Amino acid sequence: MQYITPSFRLTAAVAVVAILAGCASPIHRAPVEERASTTQAQRLPPGAENAGKPGYYTIKPSDTLIRIGLETGQSWRDIAAWNNIENPNRIEVGQVIRIVPPVGEAAATSAASAGGMASAKPVTTARIEARPVDGKAASTPAASAASVAASGSSSATAASAPETKPDVKSGDEPAWIWPANGPTIAQFEEGKRKGLVIGGKAGDPVVAAGDGRVVYAGSGLRGYGNLIIIKHSGDYLTAYAHNQTLLVKEDQAVRKGQKIAEMGATDADRVQLHFEIRKQGKPIDPARQLPSR
């Protein structure tokens, strides 16, 4: 029988431990770290590289393209086109989108807004709840209203609309008219109420406060009910909320004093018109802009 010395046994044990330790050691760490880094990069929302840049907006919880358009003074359709958003209902928190026209389109957008025409290609794959109200087709009364405004022959329209004044004040500021004849029941409050609240009866006429183009007509913005948003020359938008019936449709040109809706109480506790004027998306006090009456 061969005798194994203690020193040999010790050497063999050390060798075995070294082999086992070598097998247990992770040899290739870098690829794992690279994969983790790649996965993290893939989770970044679209457009994240533009976060914080001028002319871009980071989407927050509860945002919709309609609300973003109202807050930035743009048409939601234009925003969708500038960002190649085919389905406006599919946006995600943290996504960064362009809210100003790309270089070369700014002049075209300004000219189109002044002329009452859409500047960007329409988004045809989806709509944001821009539906007729009470089952009435929006196009029929809209066409009728447009025809009346063009001919100037309807005494009914003239009676329902306040007296018109020159379309533009000095400095490109529109010469607004009152959108309804009822009493003012709540005033603009900075940081709290973004417009005037005008009282009236269900069905009372609501008219365009200035020439422009309808950039939204529907009920997709919570808290506003059946809403119309009109883009005017320069940097101005007007909003008309809580209507009973909408008489115009998106991309339609409207004239100052044209009947665009009937007063109602949608998403409100009483019949009223909530009216906003926004400059570059920021609400301003309509009482300071409208003529005295």
**What local confidence, expressed as pLDDT, does residue 43 receive?**
75
Contact 87, 124 (CB under 8 A): no
* CATH fold of 139-288: Glucose Permease (Domain IIA) (2.70.70)
Q: Who's near 169: CB < 8 A, 6+ residues apart?
A: 175
Q: Which of 228, 229, 221 is nearest to 278 (CA)?
A: 229
Handedness of CA 207, 209, 215, 218 (dihedral sign): negative
In angstroms, the CA 64 to CA 48 distance is 18
The mean-pLDDT minimum among 112-121, 209-218, 219-228 falls in 112-121
Residue 109 has pLDDT above 60, yes or no: no
Contact 95, 46 (CB under 8 A): yes
In angstroms, the CA 257 to CA 180 distance is 10
Contact 226, 242 (CB under 8 A): yes
Residue 143 has pLDDT above 50, yes or no: no
The 10s digit of each residue's pLDDT in 27-38 is 444 444 455 454
* 84/113: higher pLDDT: 84
**What local confidence, expressed as pLDDT, does residue 19 receive?**
53
Q: Which residues on adjacent β-strands are paired with residue 239? A: 229, 276
Residue 158 has pLDDT above 80, yes or no: no
The 10s digit of each residue's pLDDT in 241-267 is 999 999 999 999 999 999 999 999 999
Contact 115, 121 (CB under 8 A): no
Report the largest interatomic distance among the alpha carbons of the chain, rounded to a whole angstrom.
127
* 175/158: higher pLDDT: 175
In angstroms, the CA 35 to CA 250 distance is 47
Q: What is the mean pLDDT of the chain?
A: 76
Q: Which residues on adjacent β-strands are paired with residue 254? A: 212
The mean-pLDDT minimum among 20-24, 89-93, 146-150 falls in 146-150
> How many CB atoms within 10 Å of residue 247?
28
- Rg of the chain in Å (alpha carbons): 30
Residue 147 has pLDDT above 70, yes or no: no
Domain boundaries of the chain, sorted by first residue: 48-115, 139-288
Q: Who's near 77: CB < 8 A, 6+ residues apart?
A: 118, 120, 122, 123, 215, 250, 251
* 168/73: higher pLDDT: 73
Contact 286, 275 (CB under 8 A): yes
Q: Tokens 């008309």 — which residue? A: 240
The mean-pLDDT minimum among 79-88, 102-111, 138-147, 269-278 falls in 138-147
Helix (H) / strand (E) containing 255:
none
Contact 156, 257 (CB under 8 A): no
Q: What is the identity of the amino acid at 273?
A: L
CATH of domain 48-115: 3.10.350.10
In angstroms, the CA 159 to CA 31 distance is 76
Give me the DSSP letters along 20-40.
HHHHHS----HHHHHHHHHHH
Confidence band (pLDDT; 50, 70, 90) for 208? very high
Residue 151 has pLDDT above 50, yes or no: no
Confidence band (pLDDT; 50, 70, 90) for 14? low
